[in-house]
Amino acid sequence: MKEELETANRPDNTAFTQQRLPAWQPMLSAGIVIPGFVLIGLAFIGIGVALFIASQNITVLEKDYTGVEITSDCYKCSNPSDKNCTCKLDFSLSNLFEGPVFFYYGLSNYFQSQRSYGVSKDDYQLSGDLDYFKTPISACSPYQYDANQNPIVPCGSLANSMFNDTFKLYQIVNGTKKLVPFDGKGIAWWTDYNIKYRNPSVTPLKNAFNGTVKPPFWSKPAYELDTSDPSNNGFVNQDFLVWMRRAALPDFRKLYRRITEGDYASGLPAGNYSLEIGYNYPVLSFGGRKKVVFSNVSWMGGKNQFLGIAYLVVGSLCVVMSTVMLIVYAKFKFPEDD
């Protein structure tokens, strides 16, 4: 009985059971690894050069408008008690700022990546589930209900703290302000306003918000975020979506508008410009900074000096190391008498 079992259990004499699977055993020698090292290094240098050049070709104009300095026009608005303050930021371009120009706002020392901040939202609510309009999830607390126990929609600290400065760019042409048209469409991820966030299917949208209150920091309710475009309201408002997509690091910028229309489709011509800022968002209390950034993009996205330089450094390091190795190899292989 036992023997039978053993015979039955006896496996075939296969390559697998005998551990004789055909295999490739790379035979690495100095003749392969050193040139390999050099090649990798050269490849990295190549990529680095390409990235660096691409990055160099990108023009960036960055302006801080926090209003810390008294000289700044926005200094007057830095007092948080001052509501609806407007200031302006003037700058001039000596050359054509090639388009398409992307217009960003930037914040620093702002911890959007804080965990409790990041989870302080209600994904069900934001996907248009009306049940969660009545009872937002507790993660939104303390922005779950207002003092009267009315549910806040959209709830949570993330939505509540939405950036609410407004910008208008004027070109000063012969002393007159010419509005540079901003394109606010498609600045958020397509998946965000089609899949992740959705308005409840109630028309008009306003009705869905009956019995709810707007987040305390907000000046207008979610369904009135964009008065010019009814479809850009509620949870699919582009600015809202851009804000809701958290930044990973405390210094970040977010896309505000693109300049792609009219006379400015090919870029911002040389000249004087004035940026009119609706200064609402307080950052000075925690030492934060606000800025605006004009930038164009290349095939590799926005300007990124670091990546190109890092590639160059690592690539060079490989080449240097392979040289050292070659020397070591020569010493080892052919001792002094040779």
Partner 1 sequence: MPSSNLVGNRERQFVVVIGFSLTLYLTDITWEVRANSRHFHKHRRRRSFLCFRWGRYADNVVRSFKYSPLTFLPLTLYEQFQRAANLYFLLMVVMQCVPAISSIPWYTTTIPLVIVLSVRGLKDLANDLVRSLTHPPITRLSPSLSSLTNWRGFTNVNSLFFLSIPTPFSLCLPFYLSPSFLLLFAPHPTPSLPLSLPLSGIVLCEEPNSRLYTFRGELHWRGERHPLDSEHILLRGTVLRNTDTAFGMAIYTGSDSKILRNVGQLRVKRTQIEKVLNKVVIGVMLFLLLMALLLAVGSGVFQGRVSSQIEVLSALTRGNSPIYTAFLTYWSYVILLSPAMPMSLYITFEMIHVLHSLFIGWDVEMRGGVERSIPAQARNTSLNEELGQVGHLLSDKTGTLTQNRLLFRQCCIAGNVYGKDELPSLCPTSASPQTLDLSWNPFSCGGLYLSDQRLVDKLRGQQCTQSRQFLTTLALCHTVMTEWRNGEGAPVYQAASPDEEALVGAARELGWVFLSRTRDSLTVSELGVKRHYQLLTLLDFTSQRRRMSVLGKTDGGLKLYCKGADIVILERLQKDCPHLESTERALDLFAQSCLRTLCIAERTVSEAKWEEWSKTMAQAAMTTRNHDDMLEQLHDDMERDLKLLGVTAIEDRLQDGVPETISLLRQAGLKVWVLTGDKKETAVNIGYACRLLDPDTRLLEGDELRQLLQSPDPEITFSKGKGTELWCVDRERAGEKSALVLTGPELVNIHYRSKDLENLLIQEPEWGARFMSLAGLCQSVLCCRVTPGQKADVVTLVRKNTASITMAIGDGANDVNMIKTAHIGVGLAGVEGGQAVQNADYALAKFSFLQRLLLVHGRWSYRRIAVFLRYFLYKTCSFALVHIWFGFFNGFSAQSLYENWFIILYTVFYTAMPVECLGIFEQDVSAECSLSWPELYKVGQRQELFNTWLLAATLLHALYTSLVLFFMPLGVFYNSALDYQTMAVTVSIASLFSATIEIILLTRHWTKWSVAAMCVSFGLFFKSPVDYYFPGVSQNAFPSPVVWFTALLTAWTAVLPSFTIRTLNIILTNPDRHRHGPVELQKSGFRRGDSHRRSSYAMSQGRGIGRLITSGASRRITFPPVDRRGTLGDNVTLAGQTQSDDAPKNITENGSSK
Q: Which of residues 90-129 bind partner 1 (CB under 8 A)?
A: 104, 106, 108, 110-118, 120
Q: Token match 């760019």: residue?
A: 169
As to burial, measured by CB atoms within 10 angstroms (0-12 exposed, 13-18 middle, 19+ buried), residue 131 is: exposed
Identify residues 43-72 at the interface with partner 1 (CB under 8 A): 44, 47, 51
Tokens of 80: 């948080």
Angle of CA points 257, 261, 264, to nearest 5°: 95
Nearby residues of 330 by Cβ (< 8 Å), 6 or more positions away: none
Sheet-wide strand order for 289-295 = 60-64, 289-295, 101-108, 252-259
Identify residues 176-195 at the interface with partner 1 (CB under 8 A): 189-192, 195
Nearest residue (CB) to partner 1, 21 versus 147: 21
Nearest residue (CB) to partner 1, 75 versus 329: 329
334 scored as a contact of partner 1 (CB under 8 A): no
Nearest residue (CB) to partner 1, 72 versus 127: 127
Angle of CA points 282, 286, 287, to nearest 5°: 95
5 scored as a contact of partner 1 (CB under 8 A): no
17 scored as a contact of partner 1 (CB under 8 A): yes
- Evaluated on CA atoms 161, 106, 73, 173, the torsion sign reads negative
Nearest residue (CB) to partner 1, 171 versus 240: 240
Q: How many CB atoms lie within 10 A of CB 150?
A: 13
37 scored as a contact of partner 1 (CB under 8 A): yes
337 scored as a contact of partner 1 (CB under 8 A): no
247 scored as a contact of partner 1 (CB under 8 A): yes
Identify residues 74-93 at the interface with partner 1 (CB under 8 A): none
User: Using CB under 8 A, which of the segments 30-38, 63-71, 218-226, 231-239 binds partner 1?
Assistant: 30-38
| b/e map 178-209, b = 16+ CB within 10 Å | bebebbbeebbeeebbeebbbbbebeebeebb
Cis ω for the linkage preceding 282 (within 30 of 0): no
Count, residues near partner 1 per rule CB under 8 A:
84
Q: Token match 């011509």: residue?
A: 269
Identify residues 132-151 at the interface with partner 1 (CB under 8 A): 141-143
4 scored as a contact of partner 1 (CB under 8 A): no
Strand partners, 295: 60, 102
Task: Work out how close the CB of 66 gets to partner 1 at its nearest, in angstroms, rounded to a whole number.
Answer: 15
Task: Work out how close the CB of 336 gets to partner 1 at its nearest, in angstroms, rounded to a whole number.
Answer: 17
Nearest residue (CB) to partner 1, 4 versus 131: 4
Identify residues 270-329 at the interface with partner 1 (CB under 8 A): 282, 285-288, 299-302, 304, 306-307, 310-311, 314, 317-318, 321, 325, 328-329
